[in-house]
Chains A and B, each alone.
Chain A
């Protein structure tokens, strides 16, 4: 008879290496000490998949609202508008006076007086394509591009216009831009909060599944402890299995979520709020992190559940 000698090599610890080996499929022979349990396996796969699917949308919402806030902030801050309202005979001279003032204002580009056609285009959404702009008491609008925000003094320009051209009003869009940006930023926070809640709910469900698996495998644990298995060894087998299930479920859920995002209606550029609900450029890579995060959540949740339950068994 030839008996193998006891190898005193330290058994693998339950650390990040365990997480990596779970994802790469190493250590499969050690994992076999845990019997495949259908109920908990399906629960973990389904929970991870569903949560990843939701996480894709929460992430898309968060990224989209972030982009929206940035876009509104940037595009609206790049121009100001001067509106000239005056009695019929005063419109042209006051408009010319405003143009003179704007051309001499530091930090701005060339002012642009909107033509009748451009005014008609602006009014079309409200009055239809046949709007008689000439017949309406529409104020003159001047777009003023901001060339250098550091040199441009909006408040100084507003006071000067009030003093020199009483019918001219400077609109730097702050009044309606700020609540929009605030709303977009809050939506972004809600998106991030949703992601955190999804991660917490995933952790709770995986913990429950892991505890159910541990409870259902009391005999396995007793046998393993009898032959000298350390808590960490038993826990590692459970952790690897649940980590892999969480990653697999989340991978499928993420894929389905991405397909659903891709399948969203492609609206035209004028409805940028809806068209922005998706991933653009490198932001697609953020979605690929979801399965990894799910694996990490599964790893930590199962680790905690396994070690706390095993600690109660001699």
Chain B
């Protein structure tokens, strides 16, 4: 993004002057106080919002020129995990994880599905319904769904916000593994302990949003 900004409903910009380039295979944290605009920034990244100022492109595509189908295509290349992930409650876990394949008209490789569920530690919950899962399990199902199409970029918006420390670190381990397999990962969080613990295992850059602007955090983290 180049000097990008965003304001809701044409009002005063919440974010402005943001310039950033994510290198493929990098790991970034996005931090800042509550209400600073972390979620807005993440939504801009997967085209749920479009910048109202400046230029922004993702995976080689200018965001402001995207058609509705173009946005959909972009989202299939970006895996997203939210703090409160939503599922299709009438489908079991395995079918929820396979949704990106289903909507792309692709057949589900059951062996790959077992591998994926095993990777997130949910092999036994394949037939469980989403409303029977714990918070940590829901986050891991969301992560599995986010990566099933092997996206180039994985965005996680406060993925550990509802999890205890052990479960948070377990989820972070999965994100670190993804990064080590070559994926670009960005995690929005205000949990500095989580950032420190993760930075001990992976070379991560930390970005901070403050006063509506994006900064590279210092060595204090």
- Our pick among A11, A233, A314 for the contact of B48 (Cβ within 8 Å) is A314
Interface residues of A in 7-28 (CB under 8 A from B): 7, 9, 11-12
Q: Contact between A230 and B181 (Cβ–Cβ < 8 Å)?
A: no
Q: Contact between B147 and A3 (Cβ–Cβ < 8 Å)?
A: yes
- Our pick among B48, B74, B86, B91 for the contact of A32 (Cβ within 8 Å) is B91
What is the count of residue pairs linking A and B with beta-carbon distances less than 8 angstroms? Answer: 104
- Our pick among A5, A6, A12, A224 for the contact of B99 (Cβ within 8 Å) is A224
Chain A residues with Cβ below 8 Å from B9 are none
Can you give 6 contacting A-B residue pairs, CB < 8 Å?
Answer: A4-B101, A4-B109, A4-B150, A223-B88, A228-B74, A231-B72
Chain A residues with Cβ below 8 Å from B102 are 29-30, 32-33
Majority-rule SS of B interface residues: helix
B148 at the interface (CB under 8 A from A): yes
| Chain B contact residues, CB within 8 Å of chain A | 46, 48, 68-69, 71-77, 80, 86-91, 95, 99-106, 109, 111-112, 115-116, 119, 145, 147-151, 177, 181
Chain A residues with Cβ below 8 Å from B115 are 1-2
A260 at the interface (CB under 8 A from B): no
Q: Contact between A231 and B68 (Cβ–Cβ < 8 Å)?
A: yes
A226 at the interface (CB under 8 A from B): yes
Q: Contact between B150 and A229 (Cβ–Cβ < 8 Å)?
A: no
Count residues of A near B (Cβ-Cβ below 8 Å).
33
Chain B residues with Cβ below 8 Å from A32 are 91, 95, 102
Chain A residues with Cβ below 8 Å from B177 are 1
A220 at the interface (CB under 8 A from B): yes
Q: Contact between B99 and A33 (Cβ–Cβ < 8 Å)?
A: yes
Residue of B nearest to A229 (CB): B103
Q: Contact between B104 and A226 (Cβ–Cβ < 8 Å)?
A: no
Q: Contact between A6 and B104 (Cβ–Cβ < 8 Å)?
A: yes
Chain A residues with Cβ below 8 Å from B91 are 32-33
Q: Contact string, A99-125, partner B, CB cutoff 8 A, digits 1/0? A: 000000000000000000000000000
**How far apart are the CA atoms of A191 and B89 in the complex, in Å?**
47
Residue of A nearest to B70 (CB): A230
How far is the CB of B85 from the nearest CB of chain A, in Å?
9
Chain A residues with Cβ below 8 Å from B46 are 226
Q: Contact between A223 and B106 (Cβ–Cβ < 8 Å)?
A: no
Chain B residues with Cβ below 8 Å from A233 are 103, 105
Q: Contact between B87 and A11 (Cβ–Cβ < 8 Å)?
A: no
Chain A residues with Cβ below 8 Å from B149 are 3-4, 6, 228
Q: Contact between A227 and B145 (Cβ–Cβ < 8 Å)?
A: yes
- Our pick among A7, A223, A230 for the contact of B87 (Cβ within 8 Å) is A223
Interface centre among A1, A11, A311, by most chain B C-beta atoms within 10 angstroms, is: A1
**How far apart are the CA atoms of A211 and B86 in the complex, in Å?**
22
